[in-house]
Amino acid sequence: MSYVNAPVHDLLIRIKNAYMARKTNVDDITFSKFKVNVLDLLKRYNFIKNYEITEKNNKKSIKVTLKMVENPVNDIPEIKFYSKPSRPWYISYKDIHAVAGGKGI
């Protein structure tokens, strides 16, 4: 697998694209503890159904099982990255506003 400069961006975009293509799962996501923490959040807030860590040839990978949605365009929130490797964007933690009345992630 090739090197990914922004692994969490890649994880979220792969999940979003799988939903848009009406896939049931996403396979062969490279393993990292940080990605597992992100997937824990997505599972807790019911964006994904489940995930499992698999090992093949002494390399860990993650398989994500997606929940069924009626209309992915309306049911999956839009993902927009303000900061990316080609354009870093820095902000103070005090300037981050609450999302959805404090109930968003």
Mean pLDDT of the chain: 84
- For residue 1, being part of any structural domain is answered with no
Residue with the bigger pLDDT between 90 and 28: it is 28
Answer whether 7's CB lies under 8 Å from 32's CB. yes
Mean pLDDT, rounded, for 80-103? 75
Can you read off the two tokens belonging to residue 25?
């799962």
Domain holding 95: CATH number? Answer: 3.30.1370.30
pLDDT, tens digit (0-9, with 9 covering 90-100), for 10-35? 999 999 999 888 899 999 999 999 99
Please name which of 83, 89, 69, 64 lies closest in space to residue 14, comparing C-alpha atoms.
64
- For residue 37, being part of any structural domain is answered with yes
Rg of the chain in Å (alpha carbons):
15
- For residue 27, being part of any structural domain is answered with yes
pLDDT of the residue at 89: 79
> From CA 18, how far away is CA 6, in angstroms rounded?
18
- For residue 95, being part of any structural domain is answered with yes
- Predicted model pTM: 0.74
> From CA 25, how far away is CA 8, in angstroms rounded?
17
Question: Tokens 């049931």 belong to which residue?
Answer: 24
pLDDT, tens digit (0-9, with 9 covering 90-100), for 54-78? 999 999 999 999 998 877 766 777 7
Count up the domains in the chain and report the number: 1
- For residue 73, being part of any structural domain is answered with no
- For residue 24, being part of any structural domain is answered with yes
> Which amino acid appears at position 63 of this protein?
K
Domain of 94 in residue numbering reads as: 7-68+80-102
**Residue 1: is its pLDDT beyond 60?**
no
Answer whether 18's CB lies under 8 Å from 26's CB. yes
pLDDT of the residue at 35: 95
> From CA 54, how far away is CA 65, in angstroms rounded?
13
**Residue 53: is its pLDDT beyond 80?**
yes
- For residue 2, being part of any structural domain is answered with no
